[in-house]
Chains A and B, each alone.
Chain A
Amino acid sequence: MRPLARIFALIWRTERWSLLRGIALSIVVLLMGVSLLGLSGWFIIAAGAAGLAGAGAIFNVFGPSAGVRFLALGRTAARYGERLLTHDATLKALAALRVRLLTGFAAAPFPVMQRFRGAQVLNRLTSDIDALDGVALRLVIPLLAGGATLALAWGMLALLVDPRVAAWSVLSLTVGAALALAWSARRSARPSRRAEAAAQAFRTRAIDHLRGRAMLAFAGQLESSATHVLQADARGRASRLALARIERRSGAMISVAATLSAAGALYLGAELTRAGAMSPALAALGFFATLALAEAVGPLRRAMGELGGMRDAARRVTHWLPQDRAEPRGRGAPLAGAALRVIDLSIANGPDSPGLTKGLTFTLAPGEIVAVTGASGAGKTTLLNTIAGLLPPRAGEIRLSERPLADWSEPGLRAHLGYLPQRAALIGGTIAENLRLAAPDASPDRLETVLEAVALGPVIEAMGGLEARLGEGGRGLSGGESRRLALARTLLRRPALLLLDEPTEGLDRATARSVLAGLRAYCPEATILLAAHRAVERDWAARELPLDGSAGCGT
């Protein structure tokens, strides 16, 4: 229950006043409904009694009939306001929660981030938060408003009708509803968790199935994979049916409690009237008010069905919420070309991975181009990841412009250090949107210049210019074209130190040569360290830094 409480606390903090007003209006709605039916019943029986007694002429009809009209209109208006307020507040709070969560993911350490499965993370962000919209709307608000209404109705009925009728009406309803809700909360926890898990599994598997359909077709497993996806749905179906059954039964329990409560109020009122303890009109007031009071407990029914899922979603969501912390800001003075010094460095892919290279020491003078070479798996990419500050060094030190890497603030480091990773990801959207990830204010001219530099100008032109749209993951460009667009994005900021992981992969020799030349022309002063395995890349560099897995290389 603690994560659920934390989520509600977050919603409460962002939208306290709207929620308070919503709860107040919700109580008003319920009380006006009770009053409307109670007053109408009282009015009819009182008028009937007066008519029978021949006292119709002196009966004050205007008070009650005006009251009935006021309650009818007021209730409608209050209901509209209450719904708008609570829904708007909840949606606002959830939108804020989504953004916080995305920030939390973005702050995860690199090795964790690298292994994120997009679909799963997406599940967390969308369906978990959607599941949480019920926390305020269907759980806390109805619980508070319903409880307050029952308490107030008790007082009103005791005062106007009879303490015994009041006690019976409110207590029977409260006990019946509490039993039904407790039962369903206990029973629904498991199926609702399962239904949620099945929905997540269905989504993950469906995305896997659709993305991997070519591979599946070759394995002759397109059909069996579809069956696998549908199995997740079948599990979900069983859980959803179980949930529906629990909800149905607890709903029937509440309905029966409401019926018994009204029947009891009817019987008590009749007996008290016969005993002369009250008038028939007051008995009618008690009965009709009790009938309307059932609305105070009805809405909780759905919340209980969803409780298990909400609890689960809240646990996962709170796990990823970022802790507030201050990031050092400030970018430092602009650098044209930075010196890079690596001293006695040992690198590894993570704390549990085997170490790759030890005792690495080298220096890059400002403006120098150096190629890191070595067989696949020697640690070229890991070295670049470490220099880029994505992985902590296992031992040793890295200095950028004579300042230790650890002393750089994240924005400062990113402003001076550009890194084209091995698998740079593009996003769906226009070419310009992709480029502006790096420089949001870049003018179209500036974007076109950088595209020219990587020999993409004519390609983009043919596609329809900067506003041409790319599909999911940058689909619509060939492998080599995607690579060059990612490179253009990295160059756009004109970093002082450029780290490039196999920048011309997927390009034919002629294109590769012109891209490298364009790159140098675009960033003439940048210090460049590239992981290279192609001759064309090695030739471009001023010297090579062979990584052979053993210690101590170069200069």
Chain B
Amino acid sequence: MPENPPDFPKSRLSRCVAPVSGRLNRAGALGVFAGLLWLPQAGLVAWLFAGLLDGTAGSQRAALAAAGFAALGALRAAMLALSDRWLAEAAQSVLTGERRHLLEREGRRSPMAPGPGSAELAALAGEKLAALEPYILRYRPAFLRARALPLAILAVAFWKSWVVAAILLIAGPLIPVFMALVGMAAQEASERQMREVGTLNGMLLERLQALVDIRLLDAGARVAADFETRAESLRERTMAVLRVAFLSSTVLELFSALGVALVAVYVGFALLGTLGFGAWATPLTAGEGVFLLLLAPEFFQPLRDLAAAWHDRAAAMAVAGELAAAEAEAPVTILGQGAAVAAVKPAPGAPAISLRNVQVALGEQTRLDFPDFDIFAGESCALTGPSGQGKSTLLAALAGLVPAQGRIEVAGGVLDDARADGWRMAVGWVPQQPHFSAGSLRANLRLAAPEAGEAEIARALRLARAEDIVARLPRGLATRVGETGAGLSGGEARRLMVARAALGQARVVLADEPTANLDAETARAVTDGLLALAAAGATLVVATHDPALVARMGREIPLGGAA
């Protein structure tokens, strides 16, 4: 979206609320109408006090005025509640839409590409996006009321007394000027604060995941102190935002309080006859005085509401800015949608994978070239080379997890968006750093084969030589595994990944350093498992520098060096 940078957050924010703008305007109009009901309420009160002063008020007028005041007040409350309801619904639908949008985009970001951390993204999708809620609930209706209500009240006041109208007019318009100044400062401060919230969460998440290391290094007190410093800095930033917000509403309250005071003083003097000007033909009556006094606070109230909601706007603006920034750079995405489709299986005897002039760019500095080669279906081969030559990146490219230049063909067709999903359904992936999602070990194993029964799971575990791991876990397959498989050793986690590939009946297995964590005996067992998959017809590609593993593969494809 090529827009001017200063406009960025603003236009992004209006894009956020565009789908619900109709409902927002209706709610705003109802709020304005409810506000106007104050005029007849004030009129009734003034009418009663005028009668009390000149002695013309009977018990009927008292009852009528009080009952009318109460009835109009109840109607006003009901209308505001209805308006709030529309606003709440609109806010929730905006939140839901934005969250979906963000997850869909970030979920397809290539795992190999640099990008914001998961915790930071979750913070953006969660509590940061929630900042749009007060903007919609409070700022938008306050903005509409501030545009309409003061003008209406000013007109009615002018009809009764031009001096009162002049007082309101002078105190009123100064307010937007102050607020514009204050608002600009508030937005900047609140942008800083939002950034800090994201980093603080990311930092904390990492410290917590490293708690064991921190204990071993006796760094607990230091980490706590370090965190305290960060938390303190967050508090200072929050206070900076609040101070500006409070200042803006204080300026406003000052003007509105002085406005009300001036109206009261002017009306008082006019009634005493000290000031003979200001009203039209006849001198101001006491009833009119009461009416004007009741109008004065309501003239300022919408402006005060707007000021109170100003930092809601600033916070929403900051979030919109972050959304716009996240969308500005096109993410390096995986190929395909990651949807469940029919598997694209390589035909026996034909090349399962072939590479021609392939290059992968990760960020600006890292650019990796790979040699041309073909891997035939049913073959087992090792991609070898010293650390840092891009073995893992190549495996990811073969799986369509990172886009590559040049030509990668899989199962007889070019690996592109259309083909990637089906291809991956045929691939079993054994990553270097296993990730376990929340839930039981059973659920994790069945990810690629949701219908698999206990017997099939047992078979897959046996194939990967991983039965003993499950037998040792206190709750077996029902054990809840941690985020990165905490509680399991590195070797155990890897073997469970091989079991998962076996359970998914993968036709092609891509394994990144499958023997790296294992002792010779277990490494041999896992290699046996991988080769058992290969013997059943699966194509096997491992990235490794383990000579024992290389020796057992059908072929070695060296990467790097001169290639």
Contact = CB atoms under 8 A, between A and B. Distances in A.
Interface of B is mostly: helix
Contact of B212 (A271, A425, A459, A480): A425
Given A114-B487, A220-B425, A249-B81, A65 B107 contact: no
B202 to A, nearest CB: 7
A79 B231 contact: no
A49 B290 CA distance: 12
Nearest to A388: B216
Contacts of A117: 438, 482-483, 486
A76 B106 CA distance: 47
A10 B215 CA distance: 27
- Interface range on chain B (Cβ under 8 Å from partner): 35 or more
Contacts of B448: 218-220
A500 interface: no
B88 A248 contact: yes
A98 B227 CA distance: 9
Given A56-B272, A215-B447, A353 B429 contact: no
Interface string A321-336: 0000000000000000
Given A50-B272, A206-B126, A230-B96, A103 B264 contact: no
A103 B221 CA distance: 8
A154 interface: no
B472 A354 contact: yes
A75 B256 CA distance: 11
A126 B220 CA distance: 19
Contacts of B535: none
A65 B227 CA distance: 54
A80 B250 contact: yes
14 contacts: A71-B257, A71-B261, A75-B257, A84-B242, A102-B224, A126-B127, A202-B99, A213-B109, A219-B447, A251-B81, A267-B63, A267-B66, A270-B48, A428-B206
B103 A244 contact: no
B286 A252 contact: no
Contacts of A255: 73, 76-77, 80
A221 B103 contact: no
A205 B277 CA distance: 70
A376 B227 CA distance: 38
Chain A, interface residues (CB within 8 Å), range: 35 or more
B206 A472 contact: yes
Nearest to B246: A83
B334 interface: yes
A218 B427 contact: yes
A160 interface: no
B338 A377 contact: no
Interface in A398-423: 410-411, 414-415, 418-419, 421-423
Interface string B457-480: 000000000001100101000001
Interface stretch (B117-125, B374-382, B410-418): B117-125
B322 to A, nearest CB: 16
A333 B488 CA distance: 36
B74 A220 contact: no
Nearest to A229: B103
Contacts of B92: 237, 240-241
A369 interface: no
Contacts of A284: 49, 290
A388 B217 CA distance: 11
Nearest to B429: A218
A248 B87 CA distance: 11
Contact of B264 (A43, A95, A106, A216): A43
A229 B126 CA distance: 11
A479 interface: yes
Contacts of B174: none
B100 interface: yes
B272 A218 contact: no
B309 to A, nearest CB: 14
Given A72-B261, A211-B435, A270-B57, A252 B210 contact: no
B202 A472 contact: yes
B57 A287 contact: no
A61 B202 contact: no
Nearest to A118: B209
